[in-house]
Chain A
């Protein structure tokens, strides 16, 4: 069956179509070509011709021309539009001109760097007969054997690595990389939209250190960045690299017709607002395709779900008397060889269905698939498009289906297709000057090269900008005897190796692992972040996982493990958390129309004290217990919105209704905010307060879950009306009567009027104009 026949079949399937919330068709687009810039070496042009490339696409030519004019360049292109050529060509061109020329490639993950290397090697191979020296490119990461490292340091023209290795393995040892740093012409940073929040803030500082070292060796490398489509690629690139960039964003690559379906599983429990499982429905849809011999990729949000889907799909194949080996899983934790084998299987067609985490979202070459199915919204629009881009890599018709889960964000997306299909509102936000992050990297920088007292850390090549308080921070470090001032320079003065103690990724942040002991054979069924654990997996809690009830026998807080057993009970547990927030310092605030809003430094404390057992249906309180867990405290940044003092009167509601409404607003904000700041749900938290400190007004706080914050709060300060609008739309569109987990939270938590009050409060936020400076 061809894909067109399948589409036809689906259109006539009434049961399926009932759940389709949007069916968007993007028409095919022809390739737009341009000419190679005159600076490009003839030998490269000939090599490309051997690969069947006679002329570059328009965006490639544009990028090449800008790069050859020595502009830092950021290229925004969808999947499979030939972006690697945009940086491989100028890099090879400079090596052909000067065989000492060097380039550094940064990829976010190891797997991805391996793959991009293959493409580079092919091009280099075609040049082999044209030149009298070898162009050497090497991957330098944790897996690089010690005996190969020496050769890479001195002879590698192109060194491919990742931010973590650059941070711990290269920069602190720059004296062994003299050749590279003296001759570094280009720094290529691919997938920059991945570097946002904490990781991005760290990377910006790693790049500040890199540039310092380059200047020491007399080089000023040019940056080439690539990004998926986000709202602010240029801004992000400039923040990351600290230099002005030119933007190339008009894609000239050809595209086949693309169908994008938003599918919402039907509601099965109206009271709790629970829909049929997105995993289950994604599986049913995928099974239809693979049984028809249509190559399909399914993206799941966790490793566990990948395994579940693989099992389901294999069973579905067996039922249809087809080989189970046509279905494979793919995720982190698989061995490299196994991964290569699966990638090959996908390219040659011997694998029909693959279920993957976002590991396959990035540019790993798996050839052309016909259908991409997302079991749940991948968390960002940029990721959604990258995953959808896995289908239809050439000019054939392709199909992407997003199967929504019950979460408010998923529900928002399926009900507002424009968010996905229109221009992407997500911004990559970083804060390179987060004091904790900045301090860490200034230590590393001092270890690498002494600081001059006049230096501004992070200044651009022209010596402009940079951290104003560099000298203050150095004095602080000197007081703490980490650096030593000698004349006008500050030298590292500690036995430690600072880079080792600093991790770039907060993903390393601790989680509590949930272990099922129902069977003698223990198994891990999931994990939960440390901050949520006291609420959801305290001793005696009933924990819901994949709609199965588990009783928490014991939460081992020290070892970060929760031991659970499968149960069937007629109640659920609801933990009571006492949260408190104090404002330490106001960065900016304003009063408009008697509404007060701002952002600044706060300290948040959370303490779970007790839980209640609540019976299903009747909602009777059938018991309670105490929770003994340590208080958690964090210094961070928060955005706040304090309503007019007389808001209750204005809305004609009593205090309890207002409290419920605030609770409802913070529930929905917690889900919708990540949509705009490209964070994960776990990156931010929202907290309602009836009498907020300082003003004694009802307020909602949105605080960042990374000590010191990474810039989300400042961003919220300028865009909160948009967020309030989106949040209000979710609430308004939700079919539930008076609140459900998909909008403002269950009615039990937000009361009868919570949902209505929340809409009024959000409207008030929405209608308060953003601050004008």
Chain B
């Protein structure tokens, strides 16, 4: 039996690819260049505008602030299995550079296992020129898998690269907003884009195995497209996710999960966190979201903006029992330690105690036993201070000087 195999050239032409060679053999390389708006809702200029801070936000890592749009490499593998381990071949390695306002995608394809040594060397070469990889779940899947292949070829992998895994970013921002944080859900919800005719990821290994058998490269066309699409989405994802960490409007903040942004900025920059919370609280009353208001107050306190904190705490004292108690304790601390005014401090403590006592009388649950103990200790100490001062007859405000 013979297969009607098209000639290599014809086949490669069908997918707009070429054969490239180096000292270790050859493989197939397919290059695609995107410019302007690859998706209706996304323009590459959005990515071009990213700053070092944006990269730091995306990766929740200050060290990434040295990155520029042109120093990163988008990275995605198509493989022969999802199980991992040494027996999985990344037969298609997609890399994306951003150069001169264009996204250049190079795909290295292995026509057979014999192409792997050459393909891996081409990839290593491209890795040399960049500072970081940008991937989607690449930290735990694609990159370890590529490392396996390098070890199997007894090649040293690069160790200068940082890794920005946008799956983590996306989870932080949208875990509570999207039904799933996979690429397709993201494209649909954020990029307003639905792929048509895309090959499902789980069918890819079988498609490659079939290709190994019949050698029709054209049958892999959907896989090449799928991989290229993933890389474009990666670029869009970086561009679309970054603004959530530096929002200018209340509406923008509300599109994502503010907790994820808070969590990131807490690790990176308190002033930026204060700005974010300021934008958010401009559109929310304290009683609408006491939790965030409390974080806002706490951030202001840590930045030394006692004025702002005090106002927020006082408003929080009017809210539910839990936040009221927590705010009362903060106010008591403020008055006792900053203002040296134990009387006012005690007032706040007593008010909280009365509130909790009332709840208990009504048979309602008390927010947290530790808060109660805290209040008790605090009131004892404050009473002690006040009594001591009375005996020494010290006017209250002098000691503050």
Contacts and interface: CB of A to CB of B under 8 A. Distances in A.
Interface stretch (A289-297, A490-498, A652-660): A490-498
A486 B86 contact: no
B151 A175 contact: yes
Given A487-B114, A489-B113, A495 B151 contact: no
Contacts of A174: 86
Contacts of B152: 175, 449
Nearest to B204: A495
Given A175-B148, A175-B152, A178-B151, A491 B113 contact: yes
Contacts of B87: 172, 446-448, 492, 497-498
B113 A450 contact: yes
Interface string A439-473: 00000001111100000000000000000000000
B83 interface: yes
Given A173-B86, A175-B147, A449-B86, A486 B209 contact: no
A484 interface: yes
Given A175-B152, A493-B209, A495-B80, A448 B86 contact: yes
B49 to A, nearest CB: 37
Nearest to A173: B85
B83 A481 contact: no
Contacts of A446: 87
Interface in A480-529: 481, 484, 486-487, 489, 491-498, 500
B208 to A, nearest CB: 9
A447 B80 CA distance: 12
B52 interface: no
B311 interface: no
A487 B114 CA distance: 8
A493 B151 contact: no
Interface string B81-99: 1111111010000000000
Nearest to B112: A486
A484 B212 contact: yes
A633 B80 CA distance: 36
B358 interface: no
A484 B113 CA distance: 9
A212 to B, nearest CB: 12
Contacts of B160: none
B13 interface: no
B244 to A, nearest CB: 30
> Which residue, of B81, B112, B113, has the highest number of chain A Cβ atoms within 10 A?
B113
Contact of A497 (B83, B151, B205): B83
A408 to B, nearest CB: 48
Nearest to A177: B151
Interface in B50-91: 80-87, 89
A500 B83 CA distance: 10
B213 A496 contact: no
Contacts of B114: 486-487
B200 to A, nearest CB: 14
A486 B82 contact: no
A448 B213 CA distance: 22
A263 to B, nearest CB: 53
Interface residues of B, number: 22
> Which residue, of B87, B89, B152, has the highest number of chain A Cβ atoms within 10 A?
B87
A496 B81 contact: yes
Contact of A495 (B112, B144, B206): B206
A495 to B, nearest CB: 4
A481 B209 contact: yes
Interface string A173-209: 1111010000000000000000000000000000000
Contact of B85 (A484, A487, A491, A497): A497
Interface in B206-235: 206, 209, 212-213
Contacts of A498: 87
Contacts of B205: 495
A572 to B, nearest CB: 52
Contacts of B81: 494-497
B151 A172 contact: no
Contacts of A500: 83
Interface string B120-154: 00000000000000000000000010011001100
A496 B88 CA distance: 9
Contacts of B212: 484, 493
Contacts of A492: 87
A447 B85 contact: yes
Contacts of A172: 85-87
Contacts of B85: 172-173, 447, 497
Interface string B161-198: 00000000000000000000000000000000000000
A627 B89 CA distance: 52
A364 to B, nearest CB: 34
B82 A495 contact: yes
Contacts of A494: 80-81, 209
A174 B87 CA distance: 11
Nearest to B206: A495
B124 to A, nearest CB: 16
Nearest to A495: B81
A10 to B, nearest CB: 60
Nearest to B85: A172
Contacts of B213: 481
B266 to A, nearest CB: 23
Nearest to A494: B81
B365 to A, nearest CB: 36
Contact of A486 (B80, B83, B113, B148): B113
Contacts of B148: 175-176
Contacts of A496: 81, 83
Nearest to B111: A486
Nearest to B208: A493
> Which residue, of B85, B147, B148, B151, has the highest number of chain A Cβ atoms within 10 A?
B85
Nearest to A499: B85
A497 B86 CA distance: 10
A493 B80 contact: yes
A251 to B, nearest CB: 43
A484 B208 CA distance: 12
Contact of A175 (B80, B86, B112, B206): B86
B348 to A, nearest CB: 43
B83 A491 contact: no
Nearest to A178: B151
A406 to B, nearest CB: 50
A173 B86 CA distance: 6
A176 B82 CA distance: 17
A586 to B, nearest CB: 38
A174 B147 CA distance: 12
> Which residue, of A173, A175, A446, has the highest number of chain B Cβ atoms within 10 A?
A175
A498 B147 CA distance: 21
Contacts of A448: 86-87
A481 to B, nearest CB: 7
A757 to B, nearest CB: 58
A473 B349 CA distance: 81
Contacts of B80: 493-495
Contacts of A173: 84-86
Nearest to A171: B86
A456 B148 CA distance: 25
Contacts of B82: 495
A175 B154 CA distance: 10
Contacts of A497: 81, 83-85, 87
B84 to A, nearest CB: 8
A498 B87 CA distance: 9
Interface of B: 80-87, 89, 112-114, 144, 147-148, 151-152, 205-206, 209, 212-213
Given A175-B148, A178-B151, A494-B81, 4 more contacts: A172-B87, A448-B86, A491-B113, A500-B83
9 contacts: A172-B86, A173-B84, A173-B86, A175-B151, A175-B152, A484-B112, A492-B87, A493-B209, A497-B83
List the 7 closest A-B pairs by CB distance, nearest first.
Answer: A447-B87, A497-B83, A492-B87, A175-B151, A495-B81, A175-B148, A172-B85
